[in-house]
């Protein structure tokens, strides 16, 4: 086998092990799905891809699009053209979550439905009326949010024990989307004449609330990155070793390992050169000399821990598949614990915000003796 063939075979094995095989064995299997679930899944995947594109293109979008800026102590700015997209992604996330909650365990259904109801009531409280005075004054946004919450609870009770139907998602989107469109639309119309834009602050508050529920998914994403690193490392070693072993079993070194060593040394020399230039010539990245000993100490501690763990685990036979399985086993309980710990806190904060926005702030202060 020639050098070019070995390189091609190694790259093919790496591509299969890192990209093709995980997708082939880990993708969703749409067998036995109820009617209408596939289009809903497609909508969710498309929305996810749009969110990824928006995140990756955020610097460019902020540079070319006019910004919507809030006033006050905390200044928030978001591209004005992206606000509708952000709000509809929020509506879609809530609708997907609430539709799934219709057919989960009772405790999960209760927690997720309460969260959705509190978010709707909070968004409805942004409609302060024509005079902008907060209080118990009933406005269209508040009334619509209450009607949406009552309708949502009624729909949950109606469909709790029924089998999944595709139109449940449509109904939930209509309830949540209709309420939020009315409340946010009236809030924007009331604040615009005064030069105030509640869009960024509203989006920030709603997304931060939903972000607490996304902690398990974020943790799973972190575990996925660790899994990818482990699989990529083991696959790369296998892709390098196998062609060399098959071609020259007794040869300890070859073209591909030598290339890897050269690239590694080049990266090390590049980073050392950057460090020296930053320290003595003020070129490139600015390096604080006072933080350099701490960084060296951290690297030394990591190297010492790695050496100690390697000696402790030398006698144990642990495969890469076992490491990945252990990551999944640890991540799930941690994600569940974080969800259980954060859900009550989020609910309490939302309740306080709703009571304050609906004119009950004085009651809270009196109860606290302030």
* φ and ψ of 158, to 5 deg: -70, -40
**Rounded Cα distance, 260 and 255, in Å:** 9
In three state form, how does the secondary structure of 241-287 look? HHHHHHHCCCCCCCHHHHHHHHHHHHHHHHHHHHHHHHHHCCCCCCC
Q: Could you tell me the two tokens for 304?
A: 């010492």
DSSP classification of residue 17? I
Q: Could you tell me the two tokens for 255?
A: 């073209």
Coil, helix or strand for 158? helix
Q: What average pLDDT values come out for the chain (370 residues) when binned by 10 residues?
A: 63 76 73 83 88 86 75 65 82 89 86 86 76 60 89 90 87 91 79 66 70 69 71 70 51 58 80 74 64 80 82 61 63 70 76 74 54
pLDDT of residue 173: 92
pLDDT of residue 38: 87
Is-contact 144 201, C-beta < 8 A?
Answer: no
Token pair 């509809």 is found at: 88
**Rounded Cα distance, 176 and 100, in Å:** 14
Paired strand residues for 79: 67
Is-contact 235 9, C-beta < 8 A?
Answer: no
The tens digit of pLDDT for each residue in 25-79 reads 767 777 778 888 888 888 888 988 898 888 888 888 888 877 766 655 566 677 7
pTM of the model: 0.67
pLDDT of residue 198: 66
The 10 Å Cβ neighbour count of residue 316 is 7
Contacts of 99 (CB under 8 A, 6+ apart): 40, 168, 169, 172
What b/e string do you get for 161-199 counting C-beta neighbours within 10 Å, with b at 16 or more? Answer: eeebeeebbebbbebbbebbbbbbebbbebbeeeebbbb
pLDDT of residue 66: 76
Closest CA to 182 of 234, 146, 218, 152: 146
pLDDT of residue 252: 46
What b/e string do you get for 97-125 counting C-beta neighbours within 10 Å, with b at 16 or more? Answer: bbbbbbbeeeeebebbbbbbbbbbbbbbb
Is-contact 296 199, C-beta < 8 A?
Answer: no
Is-contact 9 1, C-beta < 8 A?
Answer: yes
Is-contact 273 265, C-beta < 8 A?
Answer: no
Q: Could you tell me the two tokens for 147?
A: 């009607």
pLDDT of residue 341: 74
**Rounded Cα distance, 185 and 141, in Å:** 9
Contacts of 96 (CB under 8 A, 6+ apart): 40, 44, 169
């Amino acid at each position: 086998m020639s050098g070019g063939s070995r390189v091609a075979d190694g790259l093919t094995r790496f591509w299969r092990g890192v990209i093709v095989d995980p997708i082939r064995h880990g993708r969703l299997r749409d067998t036995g799905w109820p009617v209408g679930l596939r289009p809903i899944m497609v909508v969710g995947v498309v929305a996810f891809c749009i969110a990824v594109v928006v995140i990756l293109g955020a610097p460019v979008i902020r540079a070319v699009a006019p910004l919507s800026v809030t006033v006050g102590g905390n200044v928030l700015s978001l591209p004005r053209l992206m606000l509708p997209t952000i709000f509809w992604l929020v509506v879609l996330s809530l609708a997907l979550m609430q539709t799934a909650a219709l057919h989960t365990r009772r405790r999960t259904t209760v927690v997720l439905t309460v969260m959705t109801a509190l978010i709707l009531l909070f968004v409805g409280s942004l409609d302060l009326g024509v005079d902008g005075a907060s209080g118990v004054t009933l406005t269209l946004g508040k009334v619509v949010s209450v009607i949406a919450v009552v309708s949502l609870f009624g729909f949950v009770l109606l469909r709790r024990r029924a089998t999944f139907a595709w139109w449940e998602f449509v109904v939930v989107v209509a309830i949540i989307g209709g309420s939020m469109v009315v409340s946010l639309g009236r809030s924007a119309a009331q604040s615009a004449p005064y030069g105030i834009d509640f869009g960024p602050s509203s989006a920030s508050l709603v997304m931060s609330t939903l972000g607490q529920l996304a902690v398990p998914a974020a943790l799973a994403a972190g575990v996925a990155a660790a899994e990818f690193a482990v699989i990529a490392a083991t696959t790369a070693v296998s892709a390098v070793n196998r062609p060399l072993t098959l071609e020259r079993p007794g040869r300890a070194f070859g073209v591909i390992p030598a290339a890897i060593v050269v690239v590694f040394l080049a990266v090390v020399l590049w980073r050392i050169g950057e460090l020296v230039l930053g320290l003595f010539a003020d070129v490139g990245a600015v390096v604080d000399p006072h933080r350099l000993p701490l960084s060296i100490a951290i690297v030394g501690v990591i190297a010492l821990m790695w050496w100690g763990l390697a000696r402790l685990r030398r006698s144990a036979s642990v495969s890469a598949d076992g490491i990945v399985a252990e990551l999944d086993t640890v991540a799930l309980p941690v994600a569940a614990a974080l969800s259980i710990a954060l859900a009550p806190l989020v609910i309490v904060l939302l309740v306080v915000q709703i009571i304050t926005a609906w004119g009950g702030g004085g009651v809270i202060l009196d109860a606290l003796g302030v």
